[in-house]
Structure 1
Amino acid sequence: MRTQGTRVCLIDDHALFAESLQIALELEGHEVRRIPLPKDLHNATALLPTVLRYKPSVLLLDLDLGNADGSALIEPVTRAGGAVVVVTGSTDRARWGLCMRYGARKVLPKTGPLNDILATIRRISEGRTVTTAEERDELVRFWRDERKEVQELHERLGRLTHRESEVLGMLMEGNQVRDIAAHSTVSEATVRTQVKSILSKLEVTSQLAAVGLAHHASWNAPHSS
């Protein structure tokens, strides 16, 4: 039996996907409101007043909204009584776990069948469970493990001297040893010694691995002098 009258908000920055999903939901009998995204959106919470005015039963939410992270909407919408279903192109299970921790009822991949989204909304409308406790705990565990790993990476990065941090920052920008030496007016041998120290402190064996570690930790280098 088809559930009628469920108020659904849809936030997604992929027009074709959003339009297709809206059509499918309306054919199911749901009342759908797509929230327009400003071109200069940098904080997803700017959309919150519009979402709350609509008072949706379900918010279908993408995570990557241009320069904004949609996960910032999960907690406030949940507190207001809405059920949040994340539909995302991200395959990062730790990120999915963070969404569940914030209160999302379900996380679905955009690569999955359309019917999975429709069935999830139908089950929520009927007051039924859409994610088991085991599934939620597993995803949250991914997030906790990722957070622990990132904390450990930041501890390693914290061992660097200011100068070593500057050098790592320049490596992250794609500079070679000779470029860094020329920029800093020091010898290439000096920079190589600094790079060797960076690798030792970060417990990696290559410049590429050091740069990858810094990116994974979302680390910001100090401005080079």
Structure 2
Amino acid sequence: MRVIICEDAVLLREGMIRLLQDAGHEVVAALADATGLEDAVTEAEPELVLLDVRLPPTFTDEGIREAIRLRASHPAIRILVLSQYVEERYAAELIADRRGGLGYLLKDRVTDIEEFLESVETVAGGGTVLDPEVVAQLLHRRSRDSRLDRLTPRESQVLGLMAEGKSNQSIAKALFVTEGSVEKHISQLFQKLDLGADTDGNRRVLAVLTYLANANQGSSGGGPAHYSSNTYSSNTGVPRRGA
């Protein structure tokens, strides 16, 4: 996989280059700021851009604003954002994009090499990776979503089991219904939550985030939440890949 890194901290930048290369990826550019990022993306055509939220010259939000621009100008490119802190406004904007190939991790996660590389692979594969602290802070500030009132009791029950990390097969077993029946309920609740058709599987992510927000749930522990097109499970209350 071809990767561009945009990170001002030299040690972290060089460390990520080494990690990615050792994992068999090709780092086609490594930049200290976002000044030449657009040109580098156009020239090198990477599959993944990994960038810091706060970059020179102001060290405020240059990186994450650049990530939003890249999502608009190069929709096929996967983006993995790293940050010391949660930039709530822009994090919410990125997640609301409703497309896959996106990650938002706090930099502490980079110290767990296996977890970091798993996150890279998930995002590159079109999935979504969210740090649990990002999820917790975003959910803490969201109010009751009236769209949930549109769901039937059975659809609400299915959504609750989805939020527990259960697969469609597990939900069917828990409710003593067929897997096809579960799929129909999920399709209906997607429609009622105004989550249009997509090809990335992120409707499941958004539906569960809506449920958790209104149930006042969330966790700052465990690993980052990994979502792909057909898998969803939980670990210590936080969604993870591999159900």
TM-score normalised by the chain length of structure 2: 0.46
Higher RCO (Cα < 8 Å, 6 or more apart): 2
- More helix by proportion, 1 or 2? 1
